[in-house]
Structure 1
Amino acid sequence: MSLPPSGTVDDRAVGVLLGAACGDALGVPYEFGPPLPADVVPEMVGGGLGPYAPGEYSDDTQMAVCIAETLRDHDDPLSPEALAATARAFLRWRAEGATDIGNQTARVLGMAAHAGRTDRVARVMAEGATELHASGVPSAGNGSLMRTGPLALAYLDDPRGLAVAARRYSDLTHGDPLAGEACVLWCEGVRRAVVHADLDGVRAGLDLLPEDRRDAWSAWLDEAEARPAHAFGDNGFVVRALQAAWSAVTREDAFAPALASAVRAGHDTDTVAAIAGALLGARWGAGAVPREYVSAVHGWPGYRAEGLAELALAITRRHA
């Protein structure tokens, strides 16, 4: 396939979806396994919990694609129509394409299934997520963070608008504010990386959080920068997932070794690597993704690398 010229905003925009999908597919074979030794090079061999074909991505990218298609088709991501389209896409994915689905997301989508044909579906879904959190059920899983990257492509010039959207799209399935806060930080990281080709956005995103939440997240980022990715073993929890991904991203200086580090963290390997891959692709661009990954990656509802690239560029063009 033909990619945009390296070093351009288009190259980095394509890298968001392509990097996340490749991270996802690279992590699939090792999901819920122990951390990998430093001398093991992860490979896209398939298998895992699916079982998956070599290069096939999982729920992380499948749900990100649901959001990306909404952003491609709607001018205002926060309009009732766009939110309803995303909620309905999640329900269609659950019924037709989910090769895996997290417990929290499964419960919330089940609670909203009856409203799938109505305009209220997004509100019903978000209310279900809020009720689940209020009931005391742990609701700070990594399932909204894993899919959040595409939102940045619709807000490349609007960090505050992006922060609002990141929370709103997280709230569809995850009622714990921690999940929304993580999405705000990571989306700003992705946005700034696409625009400026640096990794300063995650830290800059602290200013987009409520003032009383900034110190906690700053300390968690400090910890991630000081420790290897495998130190954050409970990475099904959104804070640990972000820390594992941030550790991998900041402790290596190129796309491929950082993505491998995210997979070596162990446990929820496809999700940590998908989260890391979105930011790495935004920083280094699609041209930095190994050719063997580009040629192999694919998944529901029929995307390969070229289709993911076209989807990313369609979002940026619509929201320019």
Structure 2
Amino acid sequence: MNDRKMVLDGMMGLVVGDALGCPVQFLNREELRERGAVTEMEGYGTYNMPPGTWTDDSSMALATLASINERNGIDLRDIMERFLDWEFHGAYTPFGEAFDEGNTCSNAIYKYRDSHDLATCGETGEYSNGNGALMRILPVCLYFIQKEDISDADALRQIHLATGLTHNHLRCHIASGLYYFIAKAIVTIAPKNADLKTCIQYGLEKGFAFYHTPESLAELMYFQRLRDLNEFFSLPEDEIESDGYVLHALEAAIWCLLHTNRFRDCLLRAVNLGDDTDTTAAIAGGLAGLYYHYEAMPQEWVNAIRRKAWIKRLCLQEL
């Protein structure tokens, strides 16, 4: 697969999911059912923004991608400087102003602004295990998936450091790592006619094997439901949570991928779980985009995306 096309597939999937969930963010499942399920790209709602508006999830992921393009690699300080530019100057946004910033991300950005210390800006507490790093880690994952000469261990060291810029707890590191292994499985074995469930299973098995170490075992237990994918698939919707907790976000995204067989249906399923709708759909959308590809995305959704042409150029490295 063309490396830049892979970036377009994944990143546009993430952005479309983010925009699809933006208008109904924070509505819970019951509230969404009462007002009517999301079936198309909507606008206004929670942030009173027009259709196709994307939020902090896409902004931070696109800032990361821009850094990777320009620096030709992972430059953690450059990534944080771009997060500063986003937070304080509205860079990498649809309309020139940052909005929907998560507390943990904002805290880390402010700490970095004051100290410029990459090692201490990320939050490390138990209650800092939100989904704000998982939602933006895809471009880092894609960079290493392209580098066949770099081992998984070396890739994961950098993915953990990139995660830790804002969310520096081991649980968030593991979530990002599992996401990397799933994305890598989709890119490498889906072209050999592996179905999506097989890709996810293969990626998770590789991830659980990688983290089966004395220092990670206690945290790995939190991801236990994903060990048996058949059993996880059989869980009813009311046992899937879709709030801002990183474990719930990863589980919800995988559950939606398993329960659908089209890009459109996967993202709608994610949004209609309610609560942190934009981030659940962004996390699911990145993987769905890699599997189904850009051409399978509803054209009316893609066309609604604000600054679509700029995003495409960034993904295809034409900037």
- Distance, in Å, in 1 between the alignment partners of 2:236 and 2:281 is 14
Identify which of 52, 55, 58 aligns with 1:58. 55
Matched, 1:43 2:40: yes
**Aligned-residue identity in percent:** 28
- Note if 1:190 corresponds to 2:183: yes
* Alignment TM-score, normalising by the size of structure 1: 0.82
Identify the residue that residue 105 of structure 1 maps to in structure 2: 105
Q: What's the offset of the Cα at 1:165?
A: 2.1
Residue 60 of structure 1 aligns to which amino acid in structure 2?
D
Give the drift of 1:28.
0.5
Count of aligned pairs between the two proteins: 289
Structure 1 alignment gaps of length 5 or more: 1-6, 116-120, 316-320
Query: Pick from 243, 246, 249: which aligns with 2:257?
Result: 249
Query: Conserved in 2, the CA contact under 8 Å of 1:232 and 1:241?
Result: no
1:188 offset after TM fit, Å?
2.0
- Separation in 2 of the partners of 1:179 and 1:168? 11
Q: For the structure 1 residues 20 and 221, does the alpha-carbon distance in structure 2 shift closer, same or farther, using more than 3 Å as the test?
A: farther
SS at match of 2:49: coil
Letter of the aligned partner of 1:52 in structure 2? Answer: M
Q: How has the CA–CA distance of structure 1 residues 311 and 188 changed in structure 2, closer, same or farther, with 3 Å as cutoff?
A: farther
Say whether residues 1:219 and 2:225 are aligned partners: yes
Q: 2:242–2:277: 8 Å Cα contact kept in structure 1? A: no
CA distance in 2, matches of 1:237, 1:66: 23
Query: Superposed, which structure 2 residues align to 1:151-190 within 5 Å?
Result: 151-156=140-145, 157=148, 158=150, 159-190=152-183
1:142 to 131, 152, 155: 131
Partner residue in 1 for 2:208: 206
Rounded Cα–Cα distance in structure 2 between residues aligned with 1:190 and 1:127: 29
1:251–1:258: 8 Å Cα contact kept in structure 2?
yes
Q: How has the CA–CA distance of structure 1 residues 40 and 268 changed in structure 2, closer, same or farther, with 3 Å as cutoff?
A: same
Distance change in 2, residues 1:111/1:277 (3 Å):
same
In the alignment, the residues of structure 1 paired with residue 227 and residue 291 of structure 2 have an alpha-carbon distance, to the nearest angstrom, of 18
Q: What is the alpha-carbon distance in structure 2 between the residues aligned to residue 314 and residue 230 of structure 1?
A: 42
Farther-moved stretch of structure 1 (286-295 vs 204-213):
204-213
**Cα distance in structure 1, aligned partners of 2:184 and 2:136:** 14
Whole-Å separation in 2 of the counterparts to 1:183 and 1:217: 12
Q: Residue 14 of structure 2: which of 20, 23, 37 is its match? A: 20
Q: Match of 1:76?
A: 73
> Which residue number in structure 2 is paired with residue 32 of structure 1?
26
1:224 Cα deviation from its structure 2 partner: 4.3
**Matching residue of 1:118:** none
Relative to the length of structure 2, the TM-score reads 0.82
CA RMSD of aligned residues (A): 2.4
